[in-house]
Amino acid sequence: MFENIFNSITDTVSDGVNRLFDKEIRIGVTGLSRGGKTAFITSLVNTVLNFGSEGMSDRLSRFTAYEKSGIYYGGMVQNHDLSVPVFPYYECCDALFQKNPCWPKPTDNISEIRLEIRYKDDRFYVPGEHRNIYIDIWDYPGEWLMDLMLLNMDYEEFSARMRQQVGKLTSVISSTAPLLEFGKILRPDEPLNQKNLKEAVDAYVQWLRECKQHGFALIVPGRFVLPGNLDGAPIIEFIPWLWERPEPQRESRNSLYGIMKSRYEAYRSQIVEKFYNDSFSKLDRQIILIDCFKALKGGRETFDNINDTFEVLLNNFNYGSNNILTRLFSPNIDKVIFAATKADQITIDEQKNLLSLLKSMVTSASRKVRGDGINCQYMVLSSIAASKCKMVNYNGENIQVLCTDYEDDKPYYPGEIPPNWSQESMEAYQQYFKFRELKPPRIDSGELIPNMNMDILLQYILGDKL
């Protein structure tokens, strides 16, 4: 017993020393469902594992700290929390490196991966000193992310928010009308009727899933569509009250309304708060992945929904400068980068428009981050580049086109990206842009996963720590 206590204290002190001297960075990779988190983490880990390989300095030319700090090794080490599954990096690589490659499976549970970077410190007072730095990355389903908004909402506020959301989407989501019909069946002040509640929960889950299919991001509670080990548990058998609220004096703890309220509070405290404390409360830096193409394909409701979503989401992260005390006791996020993913879907000359579109999408959300005095940047990114851009002569004019590793895929020009959001530009995109679901690139085992702008991201996230 005493040995276990000693080991626990030793680990805690070691973690504190690492954080105090900037030897440990906890990076949050944030993104909505199908935003590309799994592909991003796979590519990032693959890049780090290739640190020290021949030619990496040239391939990471904009990661200037790579050569300057003398990085010579990158590898995986044991996770902090042994009860959390390790991010399935090798399974993702197996999917990509096979003869007929396929995309890695999206995340369906929480996982962690811890990386070590070794470099040679050539500062004048420690010339030639070998040092290391650790990077902790947490992965989790995007469906669970939006639950963070519930941290500051009681049941009535949650119900009001979803009542408003349902009202906005009545004409878009076909399952809205059947869901609202349960207002005639559910009796808030009467004892629980398990059958009626189960049917109402099923209807609400169906509504959430249809919202997800349309590209909407505000899918809460997230465990309703991806329950994990909570499938069938009473803690997720409640719904927001979407109808006129019952009189407060008639809300008994044993009534339907009272039971749903208590289950909501249990979900918020036992599931959401634990998720936040385990995954987000101690982040140092944050990478926010955004699929702009999904927003454009979905239309005005989807675009507005995603913009509102990030504004709500960022209210639940800690932002502020990391000084010597806050790093040890109360870490804050001191750098945030918004990245428009899947940039391999467009030609290089359209990247400036994609970057402009990204900024217009997250204007209000990023304003909060900048208002907290945080270093906030924007970029376009392709974690796993499935296309290459080349010049061809078309009717006497040189234009950029995309091509892939597959012989049956002819080079094509996808179209233009609107630099700013408007109803007209969205309609033009839907009419003229040729969006293709690209197949993964062909990669030989052991090769570096092709990407776009990963070196820029590494310089921003790690450059000042080496």
| Per-residue pLDDT tens over the stretch 451-463 | 999 999 999 999 9
Tens-place pLDDT, residues 68-124: 999 999 999 998 878 888 999 999 999 999 999 999 988 777 888 999 999 987 655
SS3 category, 377: strand
First-residue to last-residue Cα distance in the chain: 39
Per the prediction, the chain carries an average pLDDT of: 84
Higher-scoring residue by pLDDT: 315, 22: 315
pLDDT of residue 291: 87
Neighbours of 305 (CB within 10 A): 22
Q: For strands 397-403 and 388-394, give the pairing.
A: antiparallel
Which band of pLDDT confidence, cut at 50, 70 and 90, is reported for residue 218?
Answer: confident
From CA 463, how far away is CA 143, in angstroms rounded? 31
Give, in degrees to the nearest 5, the angle at Cα 41 between 39 and 42: 65
pLDDT of residue 160: 93
Of 24-28, 218-222, 276-280, the one with minimum mean pLDDT is 276-280
128 pLDDT above the threshold of 70: no
328 pLDDT above the threshold of 50: no
pLDDT of residue 422: 76
Give, in degrees to the nearest 5, the angle at Cα 351 between 347 and 353: 120
CB 236 within 8 A of CB 227: yes
400 pLDDT above the threshold of 70: yes
The CB-side HSE value for 116 (13 A sphere, CA atoms) comes to 12
Of 19-28, 52-61, 181-190, 381-390, the one with minimum mean pLDDT is 19-28
pLDDT of residue 245: 74
162 pLDDT above the threshold of 90: yes
313 pLDDT above the threshold of 50: yes
- Phi and psi, residue 70, nearest 5°: 70, 45
Higher-scoring residue by pLDDT: 352, 33: 352
Higher-scoring residue by pLDDT: 330, 225: 225
pLDDT of residue 232: 87
Tens-place pLDDT, residues 236-277: 999 999 998 766 655 678 899 999 999 999 999 999 998 888
From CA 57, how far away is CA 190, in angstroms rounded? 69
Which band of pLDDT confidence, cut at 50, 70 and 90, is reported for residue 65?
Answer: very high
From CA 204, how far away is CA 239, in angstroms rounded? 7
Residue 195 makes CB contacts below 8 A (sequence gap 6+) with: none
pLDDT of residue 458: 96
Residue 168 makes CB contacts below 8 A (sequence gap 6+) with: 301
Per the omega criterion (within 30 degrees of 0), is the bond before 188 cis? no
